[in-house]
Structure 1
Amino acid sequence: MSTERIELDARIPEDLAGQRLDAALARVFPDYSRSRIRQWIDTGRVQVAGQVRRPRDRVAGGEVVAIRAVLETAAQDPAEDLPLDIVHEDAALLVIHKPAGLVVHPAAGHPSGTLLNALLHHAPEVGALPRAGLVHRLDKDTSGLLVVARTLEAHTELVRQLQARTMGREYLALVQGEPVAGGRIEAPVGRHPVDRKRMAVVAGGRFAVTHYRVEARLNGFTLLRVRLETGRTHQIRVHMAHLRHPIVGDPVYGGRMRPPPGLGEAALAALQGFHRQALHAARLSLEHPLSGERVSWEVPLPGDMAGLLAALGEGLPNPAHGR
């Protein structure tokens, strides 16, 4: 990653008097998201009338604000000519259908060959944006839809929608067991107290809400349609494991697979040969950053998940399907 120095100076308008500092500055500097401004305030990069303040402090109006910060950009990551399944493309954004197995961001063990590297080749302008315009992510072994901003204005607006929970993200998840009905999971998600590489439902974790409904029942397994209200790391995987219906194939949160009695050999072989979490980001909806119009995209299940569902349906007696 490379960095860009940010130097901003302004006076807080009188009509913002009484607002929180982070909210007021998000109005004063609309090219930057409230979360980014809050981070700058927390790290002492913002001075109000020459003093460091807290995000929750109220402004009086008329104060002089100075921001001296650093913005990470993706310019130093290599651009690579890798295939991209582009579902939609315009001047403000890209919608990508990510296959399972593709890493989103470069990290230890994956310095290249990622979605970010492919984006830098296809749309070099995203190199000037935080995380190459990626405003949310999918785990390596989760397939489905991602939105990518192409301009700073679009990035700020899409981040705002994520924070306001107006961006719709729906997943299809095959889970172990048979939930009685759909429902809502509200349980805080944070780092596991012992294994810091995992997430868990923990007291003091970040507020997290997941909604789910039954799409199909397979006598021992259930296909769920899951909607994220918040977007915490591994949220669906953690919440479904917390519900004691972990996602099939999840190597971290799935636990020991317990096939139901009477499962046929073909279905058992399909389960044993499925080496990722059976989770697919099927639908994405948002307000377009340029037009404000509500737009949406949907992609079908990938072949491996569709094949697994077919094998389970054929390998169990009297599978019952229902919305």
Structure 2
Amino acid sequence: MQEKTYSVTQAGPLLPFLLEQIRGQSRNNVKSLLTRGQVQVDGVTVTRHDHPLEPGQVVVIRPQGSREAKAPFPVLYEDQRLLVIEKPAGLLSMASDREKVRTAYRMATDYVRRSQSKGRLFIVHRLDRDTSGVLLFAKDEQTKRAYQDRWDTLVSRRGYLAVVEGRPPRETDTIRTLLRENAAHKVYSVRSGGKEAITHYTTLSAGTEYTLLEVDIRTGRKNQIRAHLSELGCPVAGDQDYGAATDPLGRLCLHAHELALTDPFTGEQRLFRAAAPKGFRSLAR
């Protein structure tokens, strides 16, 4: 079977569209094309029979066994507007003065362009280099602006998992301070002249040396969680810059595991999740 391309002229679900376009094959055979991942809509592989089509979209049926584009990290969600990945620890979200190539943005763009030669990505938000977890990109400038212009109102939750040294004085609490960055790029709390930062945490489990916290940030200041937990006397494990004495997993034990937001175009509530990294839960037993 050779690759075939079809243009969508009217709205409707994907399966009836395929049955109309592919004559001479049974319904089960057409369904199997979806099951095997041979159908793409605007360059994105689709397996749902009821996937909605809109006029102007392009449907491609690829030969069985054709090589699919593989991402160098887990893809949590992808459609025509968004790409949501799980960024590994140690990888910059975007280029810096010192690193231009090995970034999540560059690697995600390469992934998109393997299926869409002219595909583009736009940065919506960022994670620190050493923090892993949910990272969202837009596939067009309109989507990027829609999220960035209303980020604080659209995002209802930015949830993190943190393994910290010791145990916080309270099982759950909210830390509210003003943060400032010094010349060495370290963030710390001040009485005046800083930017407000609000961090809420809840203890999930605790061991003899480490505690696993669920952290919810109400503001998105640089190194906010790391600074607040360090000042609480419980630095994030592996965070030598903020006073950690141990490095049990060979990485910063901070992971962005949930991002809940409202779709600016449909009003739909979306929740993107990335499972806890290996070792996080076992440390706090």
Q: TM-score, normalised by structure 2?
A: 0.67
- CA contact under 8 A between 1:82 and 1:113: conserved in structure 2? no
Matched to 1:210, the amino acid is T
How many residue pairs end up in the alignment?
210
Among candidates 264, 269, 286, match of residue 261 of structure 2? 286
- CA contact under 8 A between 2:89 and 2:252: conserved in structure 1? no
CA gap 1:272/1:166 in 2 versus in 1, 3 angstroms: closer
Aligned partner of 2:222 in structure 1 is: 233
Following the alignment from structure 2 to structure 1, what is the Cα–Cα distance between the partners of residues 177 and 260?
24
Matched to 1:250, the amino acid is D
Whether 1:297 and 2:269 are equivalent positions in the alignment is: no
Aligned partner of 1:191 in structure 2 is: 181
Greater strand content: 2
Q: TM-score, normalised by structure 1?
A: 0.60
% same residue? 31
Greater helix content: 1
Whether 1:250 and 2:239 are equivalent positions in the alignment is: yes
Per the TM alignment, residue 275 of structure 1 is displaced from its structure 2 partner at its CA by 2.5
Matched to 1:301, the amino acid is A
Matches within 5 A, 1:78-97: 83-97=72-86
Following the alignment from structure 1 to structure 2, what is the Cα–Cα distance between the partners of residues 178 and 311?
13
Matches within 5 A, 1:1-323: 83-123=72-112, 127=120, 132-164=121-153, 166-179=155-168, 180-192=170-182, 195-202=183-190, 203-255=192-244, 257=245, 272-303=247-278, 305-306=279-280, 309-310=281-282, 313=285
CA gap 1:162/1:242 in 2 versus in 1, 3 angstroms: farther
Following the alignment from structure 2 to structure 1, what is the Cα–Cα distance between the partners of residues 248 and 272?
30
Q: What secondary structure does 2:89 align onto?
A: coil
CA offsets 1:219-268 (integer angstroms, 9 cap, x no match)? 3321100011110111110111121211111021134x2xxxxxxxxxxx
5+ long unaligned stretches in structure 1: 1-80, 258-270, 314-323
- CA contact under 8 A between 1:251 and 1:276: conserved in structure 2? no
5+ long unaligned stretches in structure 2: 1-69
Runs of 4+ in 1 over 6 A off after TM superposition: none
Following the alignment from structure 1 to structure 2, what is the Cα–Cα distance between the partners of residues 311 and 116?
31
Matched to 2:139, the amino acid is R
- CA contact under 8 A between 2:212 and 2:284: conserved in structure 1? no
Q: What secondary structure does 1:189 align onto?
A: strand
